[in-house]
Structure 1
């Protein structure tokens, strides 16, 4: 009897073990299937990212993340404490002027980066506290500062007889950086400091962002006809059409619900932004092509450099300021 009970217990134990091994095998099989599916999804995602990056030249997830970070910082500085916009603007000016000066130095222009950065930052406070007049005087003072610095550098014996040194070209490049980054960007500071101007600054930035997004989505979905193949092969007329449609809609909505202006004022603002943003984008592409580089820098993952993100915004600033003076600056 004892032996029979032992046999039954042993048989039951064996069944339990077999059942456990079968269950464990099934679980491991399911886990293996899940892992394979995850790997397959990851591979497809990487393949999709690679296709998108090849087509638009950007790592989309990184671009979105850093774009959102910059966007929230900008919103906070404009909506809650406008004085913080000076700090935000100063930080952008520092990085952008430094990277553009560095790119020009890479191309053989001996641009003095330290004085260019100092002069660029120097326009922010005068623009905020003294308006357009303060911005212009600060820009002229900065240009003089950069010129004197470069002339003093020329006194070095190592440069005095160097035939490769072109003083006029170097000075022109330095002042170009100051004008392109600090002077144009300074008008956003002037506008923000004016009564109600922070909403106009936010409006024109939103429209320019909508132009970029509209061109990106429409170009990615329908783009076939290159706009300027020798300058920027990825830009298409289909993308431009999408940018125009989105910008005009955004302009009308912003004019009515945020600026408190007539709907046609939004069309005027959006129309100006479409022209200046497109010209700015193509101009920066032409500049990079002339310098022989893909991105001005690699400081912003997924974006390239700061100028790669501000290429549409900087030229649009002065146009937005003029529209603000015409309709919102009273």
Structure 2
């Protein structure tokens, strides 16, 4: 095999590292640009990402015979994110309720075969994708420092991935959940905790102009949440029987494979920043 036809070399963690880094930088640049120029653009970026993830998840579930109602879920995604940006938490909750009702009504019209199965998957999807993503929108909609909150959120979760990856590759010997994610180790988890605590402290002190210790606590909480999100999607993929949810992003898989950590971490970050930065008198 010649050099021209050789497959890209993968890291010890199984990734095409140069491609993964390039895609990660590109995605981060898009998010950063949207936050700098206009927060509403960030809402659109998130909506597009969730719609693509919804399509990927629907295709993956279809291989098992599950058919989620994509049309009401797509409409509900846009409605939930827009409502969260314009009117806050209560509107996000109302959007979720209406989306669930839309999923049920749409599936009723298709007949009884597999009704419970498809509706259950559809309701799960409405919570897992657009509802959890809505908390990132709630952060960007915060007056005065919305962009800084989202930047802190994204940077700390990136620290989780980078710290966990580096420590796992260099020191990983003890699997954390071998039946779910064989390459994830306790040493990698330690790297995630250290990376997130440091990243959170720096972000809180610089971007949020607040106490570094609050950022360290935020980082520790997000490290746990992001790891749970990563393991949760690994469980989904093993249950469905796919390696990745999609192939859109070289070195990463699909959009949904990059959102797993962010989705679970978003409500935790929103809650803690609301408490730390906007304490109740």
Tell whether the structures are fold-level matches, with TM greater than 0.5: yes
Matched, 1:122 2:71: no
RMSD of the alignment, in Å? 1.6
Once the two structures are TM-superposed, the CA of residue 103 in structure 1 deviates from its matched residue by: 1.2
Once the two structures are TM-superposed, the CA of residue 310 in structure 1 deviates from its matched residue by: 0.7
Counterparts of residues 186-201 of structure 1 (less than 5 Å): 186-195=134-143, 196-201=145-150
> 2:247 aligned to 298, 303, 319, which one?
298
SS state of the match for residue 65, structure 2? coil
Q: Aligned pairs, how many?
A: 276
Q: What is the TM-score with the length of structure 1 in the denominator?
A: 0.80
The residue number in structure 2 matching 1:166 is 114
Matched, 1:204 2:204: no
The residue number in structure 2 matching 1:28 is none
Cα distance in 1, alignment partners of residues 176 and 161 from structure 2: 15
The residue number in structure 1 matching 2:34 is 77
Cα distance in 2, alignment partners of residues 51 and 307 from structure 1: 21
The residue number in structure 1 matching 2:100 is 143
CA contact (8 A) 2:35 2:147 kept: yes
Once the two structures are TM-superposed, the CA of residue 204 in structure 1 deviates from its matched residue by: 1.3
Gaps of 5+ in 1: 1-38, 155-159
Cα distance in 2, alignment partners of residues 176 and 231 from structure 1: 20
Counterparts of residues 242-261 of structure 1 (less than 5 Å): 242-261=191-210
The residue number in structure 1 matching 2:125 is 177
Between 280-289 and 118-127, the greater mean CA deviation after superposition:
118-127
The residue number in structure 1 matching 2:212 is 263
CA contact (8 A) 1:97 1:178 kept: no
Gaps of 5+ in 2: none
Cα distance in 2, alignment partners of residues 225 and 143 from structure 1: 41
Once the two structures are TM-superposed, the CA of residue 312 in structure 1 deviates from its matched residue by: 0.4
The residue number in structure 2 matching 1:96 is 53
Cα distance in 2, alignment partners of residues 139 and 51 from structure 1: 40
Once the two structures are TM-superposed, the CA of residue 281 in structure 1 deviates from its matched residue by: 0.5
CA contact (8 A) 2:100 2:126 kept: yes
Task: Encode CA deviations 1:45-77: one digit per residue, 9 max, x unaligned.
Answer: x68x5351xx32322122111111111010011
CA contact (8 A) 1:208 1:277 kept: yes
Cα distance in 2, alignment partners of residues 51 and 180 from structure 1: 30
The residue number in structure 2 matching 1:21 is none
Q: 1:308 to 1:295 in 2, by over 3 A?
A: same
Q: What is the TM-score with the length of structure 2 in the denominator?
A: 0.94
The residue number in structure 2 matching 1:228 is 177
The structure having more radius of gyration, on CA atoms, is 1
Answer 1 or 2: which has greater helix percent. 1
Task: Encode CA deviations 1:168-212: one digit per residue, 9 max, x unaligned.
Answer: 111010111111000000011011011112211110110111110
